[in-house]
Amino acid sequence: MTLNFWSKTNGIWINAISVVFGTSVGILLKNSFSLQMQITITQGVALMTLFIGSRMTNNLAQVQNGRIDGVVLGLLAIVLGDVLGDWLQIEGKLHFIGDLLKLYFQGNGNFTEGFVAGSLLFCIGPLAVIGSLNNGLTGNNSLLLLKATMDGLAAIALSSSLGIGVGFSAFVILFYQGFISIIAGFMVQIFPNTENDPRLLLLTGVGGLMVVGLGINLLEITHIRVASFLPALVIAPLLYSCIDWISLLKNNIIKLLKNR
């Protein structure tokens, strides 16, 4: 099924609009939300995040490559991804970029501070990448709708203290997440059967594990360095393809030996 531009990017537009709307509400209401209310809202979003993530992980059970189960492939992908992510220091570099930008723009007014804070909060994170990929590949915007809800609520809190600059980070969302989504749309040519392709099911399942990790972080049960697992999104489909290729090579060798 060929997706049109709207189908590939609708979640991103909604995400950007939610930030603008949240900023407007935050400016109007200022600091009227109590701390307890903010905690309760965050916990509600966290529970929904866990629910969506757990549903995504069910895709792992639908993958089977020879005798290797999809859950095992997902485990291998997430472990290898974490090793690569730690080696590349992805989590630390993201925090460094954020701290560097905050330091650079410090003292240039609330507008700039709000713009930078919003851009970092809404774009630097696994959900932005996973959600945009999902939207661009399959047209499914459920993750970006969840992100839009989270970002809208965060925009209310941010803009009440930092002002209208937070709302302008919506342009960064459109550019950054839109780019990921459009690139993912071109990948449909590689994965023509986006609904049942085992590589995409594996990618979605591994992404679901990261979404569960985000939910756990929101509940503050423990801190999972979710960004370190991002390479697993690339490793998962590559791992399946490699095992597929090895299995095909093995079968060809067996056939060749039988024909001799």
Asked, for residue 187, whether it belongs to a domain, the answer is yes
What is the rounded distance in angstroms from the CA atom of residue 183 to the CA atom of residue 39?
36
Per DSSP (E only), the strands in 42-142 are 64-65, 68-69
Position 3 pLDDT exceeds 80: no
Domain of 77, in residue numbers: 5-253
Number of H helices, E strands in the chain: 10, 2
| 234 is a domain residue | yes
- Domain contains 188: yes
Structure tokens at 133: 């990929």
Number of domains in the chain: 1
List, in sequence order, every residue forming a beta bridge with 65; answer none if it has no partner: 68
* Cα 179 to Cα 128: distance, rounded to the nearest angstrom: 11
- The 10s digit of each residue's pLDDT in 9-44 is 899 999 999 999 999 998 888 767 677 776 777 787
pTM to 2 decimal places: 0.73
Contact 111, 165 (CB under 8 A): yes
**For 54-94, how does the pLDDT look when each residue is reduced to its tens digit (9 = 90+)?**
888 888 888 877 678 888 999 999 999 999 989 988 877 76
- φ, ψ for residue 64, nearest 5 deg: -145, 120
- Rg of the chain over Cα atoms, rounded to whole angstroms, equals 21
Are the beta carbons of 58 and 239 closer than 8 angstroms? no
